[in-house]
Amino acid sequence: MKITTSLENINSFGGLNFISSEFDQLELPKLITSSLGSRSLLTTYQYHDIIKNIWMILFSGGDCAEDIQTNLKSELSNVLNMKICSADTILRLQKELSLVKEIHLSKNNVENQFSNHPFLNKLNLSILLLTNQLEKGKSYDLDFDNQFIACEKYDAKKGYKKLRGYFPGIATIGKNIVYLENRNGNCNVKFKQEETLSNVYKMLQSNNISVKRSRMDCGSFTKAVIDVVQENSELFYIRAQRCSELNETIKAVKKWKKVTIGFKEFEVASVNYIPFNGNKTYRYVVSREANKNSQIDVFQGDNFIYRAIIINDNEMSDQEVVCFYNQRGGSEKIFDEMNNDFGWGNLPFSFLEENTVYMLITAMCRNFYLYFIEKIAHKIPFIEKNFRLKKFIFRFVVVPFKWIKKGGQKTLKLFTDKPYQLLI
C-alpha cells in the first residue's frame, strides 16, 4: 500500500453550502433578529449567527458546541456565508437568551419548576409559517404529550421513572413541534396543564391557525384540561382513566364488535358516562383485547385488557376512533429523533431554563430539516424525505468540495458524480 498526501484545500461537508444558502434565502437572520432583538452593533455575533452555528453542528454530525472548535472549525469556515463562533460564545449567548424559570407550589407543597420561552416558541411558529409547513387560515390536528428526558444536571429532579431529569410538555402538529414548555422531572404532568394548553391555543389562534381535533394521553384527563381543550378545538380524543363507576358501566356492555386494528384483534364498544362527578355526559369508546397470559383483571373479572377514550365526536365509528387515537404513536418517533438526532439526549447546560433555550433551538432545527429534505427530495434522486438525520448526512452533506475563484466569481466545485446541480 502506498500513501500520498496533498495540501490542496478540499473540505468534506459540501452539502452544508446548500443548507446555508437556504437559511439565508429564507431570510431567517432577519426573522430571528425581529423575534429576539438585535445585540449591540459593537458585538461580533448576533443571535442568528448562534442559531445557524448550532444547526450546522448538528447537520455535520456533531453533538456539542465544543465540536465546532475541536472537529469542525476548518470545515465550517469554508461553508457559504458562515460566521464561525467559538464554543464559549455559542454557550454564552444561549444563556443570555434564557428566561427566569417559574416556581409553583402544589397543594401538597411540592415545588414545581416551569421554564417557558414565549419568544422562542413564537419564533419557531414563525419559521413554520415562513416555510409553509403551517398555513394561516387552516385547521389542524394537535397532539400534546410530556416526554421524560433523563439527565444528571445540577437542578434536575427525580421523576416517576426514579431517574433525575426534565419532563417537558410538547405540542405537535403532524411531524412538527409547535410548542415546548420545559418542566423539572418531579412535576406531575397534570399540574397546571390547562394553563400550558391555553398558551398553546392562544399562540396558534393569534396566528390565525385553528385546531380541529386535539389528541392526548391520560396525563390530560382532568376536568380543567378537557374544558380548555373543548373550548379551543372542535373535537377531542383523550385517554380516560378508569374508576369503579366507569368499570361498572363497561361491565354492563353486552354487545362488543370484533375488529382488526393493525395486526391485532380487538373488541370495541361505546358507552355514555358522566366523569368528574359533573353533569355532562360524554361518549367513551372502549376497546379490549385478550390478555396473553390469561391473567384475570381485578376490576372487570375477566382476562381482557381494557382501554377507554373520552371524546366529543359522535360521527366516527368506534373502530375509527381507536385507529385515529393510535396515530399518536407518531409523537414517540418525534421524541426519538429529538433525543438521538437533534441533541436532546445530550443537553449542554446545568440549569432548566438554559436547556430550554437549547431544546427550542434544536426543535427549530428539526422543523427546518423536515422542510429542507422534503424540498430537495423532489429534485434529486438520491435523497428521500423520510431519511433520518444520520443517513441524510452520509448521503447529502458529506461530499468533498472547494470554492474556485475566477473572474471575480466564486464557483462551488463538488467532487462527486451525484447530480447536485439539479438543486440550482
* Span 347-389, pLDDT tens digits: 999 999 999 999 999 999 999 999 999 999 999 999 999 999 9
Residue with cell 385517554: 239
- At residue 299 the predicted structure's pLDDT band, cuts being 50, 70 and 90, is low
CA distance 76 to 87: 13
Residue with cell 382513566: 241
Tens of pLDDT, residue by residue over 242-280, are 888 888 898 889 899 999 988 888 999 999 999 998 889
CA-based nearest residue to 318, from 275, 287, 272: 287
Residue 397 clears pLDDT 90, i.e. is over it: yes
Per 3-state DSSP, the chain is made up of helix, strand and coil in percentages (nearest 5) of: 40, 25, 40
**Cβ count near 222 (within 10 Å):** 19
CA distance 295 to 302: 8
H/E element, 249: helix 244-251
| Alpha helices by DSSP H, 13-117 | 16-25, 28-36, 47-59, 67-70, 73-76, 87-97
Q: How much of the chain exceeds pLDDT 90, in percent?
A: 80
pTM above 0.85, yes or no: yes
Residue 289 clears pLDDT 80, i.e. is over it: yes
pLDDT for res 4? 81
- Helices 47-59 and 16-25 pack at an angle, to 10 degrees, of 150
- Termini Cα distance of the chain: 40
Q: Which amino acid is located at 181 in the chain?
A: E
